[in-house]
Amino acid sequence: MIISRYSPPGAGLDIRSNTWKPRKCVVCRRRIAKPEAKNQKACHRKACKDELARLRTEKLKKKQKAARVAKKERSRIGDIKATKPARDRDYLNWLKLLRCIVCLAAGCDPCHVGPIRGMRQKCSDYEAVPMCRTHHDEQHRLQKTFWAKYGLDRDAIIASLNARYKAERQAAA
C-alpha cells in the first residue's frame, strides 16, 4: 500500500489490524516522524534509544535466568544430564528379549513410558518397558489411563526391570 500525502507523518503498517497508523515511540509515546527502519520502536532521541536498549537487555537477562532455573530443576529431577535423557542401546535390546508385561506375548518392543518431555523427546531408556505392538499402541493412545485399566504399577515395574537388568549385567561381568 502506498502512503499518500494525506497520510499522517510517520505512518506505518500496524501488523495486528493490517491498517496504516502512525507509529509511536515505545518509551516516550511521541510520534515517530520519519521511521529510519521498518521495525523502528524508539524515536530519534538518544535517551529513548538507550532506554529501549536497556529494556531489551533486561528482558533477555530475565529469559536467560528462567532458562538457568529450568535447567537446574531438570538436573535435580533428571537421570544423568539436565538436557538429554539417558540412552542405553543394550538395555533396549535386553527388553526386546522379554515378554509383554500385559499379555506375556513374546517379541516385544521397548515402550518408553516415562513422563512426557516435549515434542519428539522420549524419556530415558531406563523408563522403558517391554510391550507387544498391540499394547504399545494402546499405551500411547490411553497414556495414564492405560495403567489403571490393567491394574499395573508403572514405577514398580520400571524399578524391578532396572534392578533385574543391573543384576544380570553384574553377573555377566
Q: Is residue 1 part of a domain?
A: no
What pTM does this model have?
A: 0.51
Shared domain for 168 and 95, answered yes or no, is: yes
d(CA 56, CA 105): 58
Q: Which domain holds residue 57?
A: 11-77
pLDDT digits (tens, 9 = 90+) for 61-115: 888 888 888 777 766 655 444 467 788 899 999 999 999 999 999 989 999 987 7
Shared domain for 110 and 142, answered yes or no, is: yes
Give residue 80's pLDDT: 44
Q: Is residue 6 part of a domain?
A: no
Shared domain for 114 and 45, answered yes or no, is: no
pLDDT at 117 over 90: no
Total structural domains in the chain?
Answer: 2
Buried b (16+ CB within 10 A) or exposed e, 81-107: eeeebeeeeebbebbeebebbbeeeee
